[in-house]
Structure formats: structure tokens, C-alpha cells
Amino acid sequence: MTPPTPPRYRIDGPDGAPVIVLGPSLGTTADLWLPLLPALTREHRVLRYDLPGHGGEPPPDGPFTVADLADGISALLDRLEIAEAAYAGVSLGGAVGTALALRAPGRLAGLVLCCTSPRFGDPGAWRERAALVRREGVGPVADTAAGRWFAPGFTGADPYVAMLRATDPGGYAACCDALAAFDATGVLDRIAAPTLVIAGAEDVPTPPRGHADLLAEGIPDAGLVIVEGAGHLAVAERPEPVAAVITAHLDRTWKGTRR
């Protein structure tokens, strides 16, 4: 089953500016990117979307893959008559960007992969998490989310954990199943979009070694930036340095096509 084109999206920034699409992580919403909007909307039109069952988005009516999510973003861009855009995504949102770069190479003028991976570990662990959430709801994973998502000592976790608690269990579980099946390790060399990989130095789910480094080594000419003092949700924990490296990457590689 292919999920519907994401109906819940938000557009911020000046009319006619180059477009950058922002993808959220598993368990968060488009508001994950709010701390970066002031910087990103100075010269770009920013399109944020929600995953199935997240942020009020309806839950899916069946299973889907990361490639299906990428096709949904392509369909959304078609509907909005956006021929070319940059894309930045966190974790699952980053995997969607990887799939989009592989499936629609002419569409992406720039790619930023933040705290993500070409393969998210043991598929069995993701299927077990999906089964837990289907059985008990998102409470058990929300109770431990702050420790997974942020470096020790971060005091601003509550709004992000609240996003997870509000997520539909069926949508969360279906995203876990999609992550279990995702593996781009053998095809990274096919990505043509100018790519920047961002990693949190203290990221637990996708640490720089074994995740970000594989992306940077596998994607031709990709850059790698490791953000100190940041965990898995580096965009929330260290928004200023993350915004700075994203805008610098886009300024260096792509000015965008105005429309």
C-alpha cells in the first residue's frame, strides 16, 4: 500500500524563493524543525510535512515502505508544481531523502541527511518495537525517548516527547516496519545530489561511526559535519550550528530555481 500524498504540510518563507523540503524523524512532527525556521526562511521557501499517523496525519490503512514515503513527497511536489527542491531530513526523514534522491534524481538539487543511516540496525529490533507499540501504545517508547534522542543534560526534551505521546500507535508501528526493511547500503553511489551528512557527536540510535560515516563514504563527494554536544535530534538540541551548516551547504552547492 502506498500512503496518500501527505495532506498535512506547512509552507513558510518568501514567495518565489528556492524550496527546501524538511522531513521529521520517527515520533516527531513537522514542528521538529521550528527552531531552524528563522535561519532557513531568510532565503528559502520551507516545506515541512508529517509522517503517517504523526502530527494529526491520518494513520495508514496498511503497510508501506520508505520508498513509498519518498514517492508521496514526489507527488506532493508535483501537486504544488515544484519542479526542483533541496531536501533535509532527520532519521526516518533522512531515509526518505535518501530514497527520494535514488528514485527521483532529477528532482533534488541538494540533500542534507541529519542523524540518519543507510540501514537502521537489526530489522528484528524494529519489528519488536512495532509489536510493542501495537500491543501497548506509544507510552513505553515515549517514557524512554528523551534518553535516546538527546545528549545528557539537555533540558528541552518535553515538547518533543509530547509529539511522540500524541502519535497514533498504528502510524508509529508502520514507520518502524518501514525502517526495518530499509537498506540503501549497496546503492549510495547512485546518489547524484550534492549531499551533506550531519551527525550528533552523542547520537545513540545512529552514532557517527557506523551510520553517518557510511553515508559520507558511500555518497559521491558527500561532506560530513559532526555537531558536538548533540544527540539524535541535533536540529532541536543545537539548532544554530545545524542551521549554519545547512545554509552554507545550500549556498555553496545550489542557489535554487525561482518559480
- pLDDT, tens digit, for every residue of 61-81? 899 999 999 999 999 999 999
User: What's the confidence (pLDDT) of residue 255?
Assistant: 55
Domain ranges of the chain: 9-253
User: What's the confidence (pLDDT) of residue 8?
Assistant: 77
| Cα–Cα distance for residue pair 4/72, rounded to 1 Å | 7
148 class by beta-carbon count within 10 Å (0-12 exposed, 13-18 middle, 19+ buried): middle
User: What's the confidence (pLDDT) of residue 23?
Assistant: 97
Measured in degrees and rounded to the nearest 5, phi and psi for residue 48 equal -110, 145
Classify 208 as helix, strand or coil.
Answer: helix
User: What's the confidence (pLDDT) of residue 138?
Assistant: 98
User: What's the confidence (pLDDT) of residue 254?
Assistant: 76
Order of strands, sheet of 195-200, starting from the edge strand that comes earlier in the sequence: 9-12, 45-49, 19-23, 85-90, 108-114, 195-200, 223-227
User: What's the confidence (pLDDT) of residue 259?
Assistant: 34
Averages of pLDDT over runs of 10 residues in the chain (259 residues) are 62 94 97 97 95 91 94 92 96 98 93 98 97 98 97 95 97 97 97 97 96 98 97 97 96 62
pTM of this structure: 0.95
| Cα–Cα distance for residue pair 80/148, rounded to 1 Å | 35
- Domain at 9-253, CATH class: alpha beta
